[in-house]
Amino acid sequence: PAPIYIREQAPPPPPAPIYIQEPARPAPPQPQPMTIVLPERRREHSRDVHAEVRALEAEARALRLEREAQQHHHGQIVIAQPQQTGYEMVEYRERRPDREIVEYVERDKSPKREVIRVEKDRKAADKERRQARKIAMMMATLS
């Protein structure tokens, strides 16, 4: 019989191992005596801080006024900025009706009321209390 040839491809060789070389970590610092290291801070004068606070408050005030104007539809127009002048000038523009009707109605005046004030007689109550104390003291001395 004739030989049968089967062609098979050999499996690919396994991939070569991948080596990753990480940089060496720096050595930990040598132990030193107790020291505190504070990060450098930008020194701000109180004037700078107060100016920034005033600017933020003015911005918040402007946003609040803008929201109120949108909610109430008053049509406010801010003429002067608060940080420049220290106050605000606001112009109100309201639409007036084409014609106004004013109706005057008379009403009866209510009659005068006579108020009578009733108070308790406190002197009599105090007198009764004093009398009761005296009797209690006398009874205490008898026993």
pLDDT single digits (tens) 56-88: 999 998 888 877 777 665 555 555 455 555 566
In a domain, 131, yes or no: no
* Per-residue model confidence (pLDDT) at position 56: 92
Residue 67 lies in a domain: yes
- Say how far apart CA 72 and CA 60 lie, in whole Å: 18
Q: CA 10: distance to chain centroid? A: 75
How buried is residue 76: exposed, middle or buried, by Cβ count under 10 Å (0-12/13-18/19+)?
middle
Beta bridge partners of 78: 90
Q: Which residue range forms the structural domain that includes residue 88? A: 45-94
Specify if 68 maps to a domain: yes
Please provide residue 77's backbone torsions phi and psi, each rounded to the nearest 5 degrees: -125, 120
User: Looking at the 3D structure of the chain, how many domains does it have?
Assistant: 1
Residue 71 lies in a domain: yes
- Whole-model pTM? 0.24
Q: What is the band of 94 on the pLDDT scale with cuts at 50, 70, 90? A: low
pLDDT at 134 over 80: yes
pLDDT tens-digit profile of 4-56? 777 777 788 888 888 888 888 888 888 777 777 777 766 667 888 888 899 99
Helices within 33-113 (DSSP H only): 46-72, 82-85
On whether residue 52 sits in a domain, the answer given is yes
Is 65 a domain residue?
Answer: yes
